[in-house]
Amino acid sequence: MRHLKLVHSTERAAAMKERVKIAFASSDRSVVNQHFGAAEAFCIYQLPAGEGAEEDACLVEVAEFHDSDAVMDGHEGKLAGKIALLEGCAAVYCNAVGASAIKQLLAAGIQPMKVEEGTVIATLLRGLRSKNAPPAWLVKGLQGKDSDRFAAMATEEWSE
């Protein structure tokens, strides 16, 4: 496997923690064109958190698998590596995904999203940024970034 991960300055990295990561099964980094289990590559973008954020989505990782790694025929063990690679992503877009992979992705907190082959990644990212009511998985991904929110709520005064 080849894995490119962009490294940011400390200040930029702190700001990036407030973003949600989304993966795309893509061999060319421009369109979704892969089945999850047989994906030759994933590209991972980060979306800025919060309404009205002025920054665009940012490509932060690309992982490519060797041809022998992408074979689908009953190689369930290969799913674990792909799911581990996507750790921290709120969703993964692909053209198809098997039942076993769906179960494992959901258990890892990653929402599988099936789209037509050739769907342009930039269009999907723009669509996520422009929605008035974001999908539940995106809201959950953004809320998950604030791991201390329950502790903060516990210290607040409550009234009925």
Question: What's residue 70's pLDDT?
Answer: 45
Residue 160 maps to a domain? no
Q: What's the pLDDT band for 142 if we cut at 50, 70, 90? A: low
Q: How many CA atoms lie within 13 A of 122 on its CB side?
A: 3
The distance in angstroms from the start CA to the end CA of the chain is 55
CATH of the domain at 94: 3.30.420.130
Number of structural domains (the chain) is: 1
Position 17 pLDDT exceeds 60: no
pLDDT single digits (tens) 41-91? 999 999 876 555 556 789 999 999 875 544 445 555 679 999 999 999 999
Residue 64 maps to a domain? yes
Domain range for 99 is 2-155
pLDDT single digits (tens) 22-45? 999 999 999 999 999 999 999 999
Under 8 Å between Cβ of 86 and 24: no
Reported pTM: 0.74
